[in-house]
């Protein structure tokens, strides 16, 4: 349906207001408008409201199908992905996940093992229409010496298809070994990565955060935290990160993931935290599928009573940048998932109520994570930009989000890609006990 090369006009495409900056059209109450989209040599050369465009004989009529920019997935763990068959989570709890993953990492994460699982994940993400992806990399010694070179090679291999970024991942107690952490920050900087830690309410949290910020400032690194992935109302490390950013005068980008406990805290505490998060210009990513899976899981004989996600509506209302992302896929932290950002958006719509009105929530899987990841022009559709978009069957939100859209067309630099999901059997030999 999409021509292989040259110039073509897609007529009657349905575009969303939140993802088409500069496109003036009579948008409907769902935020959609019909348009003609012209592609020349891999770039979008014009987007014109349908009523204003002249009928053209050679146009391809898309009959009102939704076209979205390619997705940006800003929080994943493709170094952990797909280990489930050999290392499941015994009880589905967070501690079960932590212990199982740690044991698997120590025993099995050779460069070859990590590389093959990463490549499998990236092929899925690419086929589903993702254009840029940030992964965390477990960087507990000696894993950092194995995984960072694999990441650098993988980024090279995927250049032009998926823009790959990485952030180091370790519990903040690891920062206490100052000399080692300085070395890690240097390694991350050499790989043009992002500095990341998991924050817990340890007694010396503020001091350790200062060290993290000092290293980020020294090397000019952006920051990426896992914070408060718990129902414990005493977990307020999101606020501590905002405070540390303010008193360190940090100027880089900061992304904070999870922040689950915030949803359980009293209103006054919440307001104070949100004030500080907005003032410090933190961005927050919610991981709705993982949170639904891990949070409020007790002994598996009780029914979960909360959804596990953080307060994205309240954050967005204050101008805080908010995103949703995949997080884990088929590992002890989440038994499912395939790095399909349409699935993430569909689940987020249901879990977080991204609807009635939809407003500008679609930015949370495209334009906003692109900004956080400093990817100029990604996550939007505009004249002059690269023709990277997805053509769906759905013509409305209810059509788009009710079916898996397995037959979506992914267009990269103007051409429809071959959408081949890798076969699970490829990984069988890595899963043998
Ligand atoms: Zn994560």
Per-residue pLDDT of the chain (433 residues; tens, 9 = 90+): 787 777 999 999 999 999 999 999 999 999 999 999 999 999 999 999 986 666 666 799 999 999 999 999 999 999 999 999 999 999 999 999 999 999 999 999 999 999 999 999 999 999 999 999 999 999 999 999 999 999 999 999 999 999 999 999 999 999 999 999 999 999 999 999 999 999 999 999 999 999 999 999 999 999 999 999 999 999 999 999 999 999 999 999 999 999 999 999 999 999 999 999 999 999 999 999 999 999 999 877 899 999 999 999 999 999 999 999 999 999 999 999 999 999 999 999 999 999 999 999 999 999 999 999 999 989 999 999 999 999 999 999 999 999 999 999 999 999 999 999 999 999 999 999 7
Residues 22 and 161 in one domain: no
Residues 133 and 214 in one domain: yes
Residues 145 and 278 in one domain: yes
| Domain that residue 59 falls in | 7-70+379-416
- How many Cβ atoms are within 10 Å of 70's Cβ, its own excluded? 25
- How many angstroms separate the CA atoms of 130 and 370, rounded? 11
Residues 321 and 192 in one domain: yes
Sign of the alpha-carbon torsion through 380, 386, 392, 395? positive
Cα of 257 vs centre of ligand 1, distance in Å, is 7
Cα of 133 vs centre of ligand 1, distance in Å, is 13
Count of positions (residues) in the chain: 433
Cα of 61 vs centre of ligand 1, distance in Å, is 41
The set of catalytic residues is 229
Cα of 226 vs centre of ligand 1, distance in Å, is 6
Residues 334 and 399 in one domain: no
- How many angstroms separate the CA atoms of 91 and 81, rounded? 18
Residue 130 in domain: yes
Based on the structure, what is the number of domains in the chain? 2
This prediction's pTM:
0.97
Residues 63 and 79 in one domain: no
- Closest to 362 (Cα-Cα) out of 66, 124, 136: 66
Domain of residue 119, CATH code: 3.20.20.140
What CA dihedral angle connects 278, 315, 131 and 430, to 10 degrees? 100
Residues 53 and 134 in one domain: no
Cα of 330 vs centre of ligand 1, distance in Å, is 13
Residues 385 and 255 in one domain: no
pLDDT of residue 78: 98
Residues 132 and 225 in one domain: yes
Residues 50 and 125 in one domain: no
pLDDT in tens, 315-328: 999 999 999 999 99
Q: How far is CA 385 from CA 46, 235, 376, in A?
A: 10, 42, 10
């Amino acid at each position: 349906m999409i021509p292989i090369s040259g110039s073509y006009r897609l007529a009657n495409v349905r575009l969303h207001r939140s993802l088409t900056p500069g496109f003036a059209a009579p948008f409907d109450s769902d935020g959609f408008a019909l348009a003609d989209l012209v592609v020349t040599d891999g770039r979008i050369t014009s987007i014109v409201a349908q009523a204003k465009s002249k009928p053209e004989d050679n146009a391809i009529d898309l009959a009102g199908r939704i076209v979205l920019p390619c997705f940006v997935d800003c929080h994943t763990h493709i170094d952990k992905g797909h280990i489930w068959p050999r290392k499941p989570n015994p009880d589905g709890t967070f501690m079960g996940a932590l212990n199982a993953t740690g044991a698997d990492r120590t025993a099995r994460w050779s460069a070859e093992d990590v590389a093959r699982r990463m490549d499998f994940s990236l092929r899925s993400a690419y086929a589903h229409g993702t254009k840029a992806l940030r992964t965390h990399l477990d960087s507990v010694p000696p894993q950092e010496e194995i995984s960072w070179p694999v990441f650098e090679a993988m980024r090279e291999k995927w250049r032009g298809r998926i823009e790959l970024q990485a952030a180091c991942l370790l519990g903040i107690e690891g920062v206490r070994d100052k000399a080692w952490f300085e070395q890690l920050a240097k390694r991350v900087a050499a790989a043009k990565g992002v500095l990341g830690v998991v924050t817990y309410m340890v007694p010396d949290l503020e001091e350790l955060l200062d060290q993290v910020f000092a290293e980020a400032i020294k090397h000019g690194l952006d920051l990426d935290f896992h914070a408060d992935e718990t129902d414990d109302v005493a977990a307020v490390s999101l606020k501590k990160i905002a405070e540390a950013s303010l008193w360190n005068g940090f100027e880089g980008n900061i992304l904070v993931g999870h922040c689950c406990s915030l949803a359980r805290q009293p209103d006054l505490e919440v307001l104070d935290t949100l004030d500080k998060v907005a003032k410090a210009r933190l961005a927050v990513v919610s991981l709705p599928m993982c949170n639904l899976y891990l949070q409020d899981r007790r002994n598996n004989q009780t029914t979960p009573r909360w959804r596990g996600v953080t307060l994205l509506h309240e954050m967005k209302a204050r101008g805080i940048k908010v995103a949703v992302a995949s997080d884990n896929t088929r590992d002890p932290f989440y038994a499912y998932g395939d790095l399909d950002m349409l699935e993430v958006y569909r689940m987020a719509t249901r879990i977080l109520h991204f609807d009635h009105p939809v407003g500008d929530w679609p930015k949370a899987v495209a334009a906003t994570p692109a900004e956080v990841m400093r990817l100029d022009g990604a996550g939007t559709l505009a004249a002059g930009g690269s023709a990277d978009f997805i053509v769906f069957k759905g013509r409305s939100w209810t059509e788009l989000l009710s079916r898996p859209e397995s037959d979506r067309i992914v267009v990269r630099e103007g051409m429809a890609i071959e959408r081949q999901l890798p076969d699970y059997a490829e990984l069988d030999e890595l899963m043998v006990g």
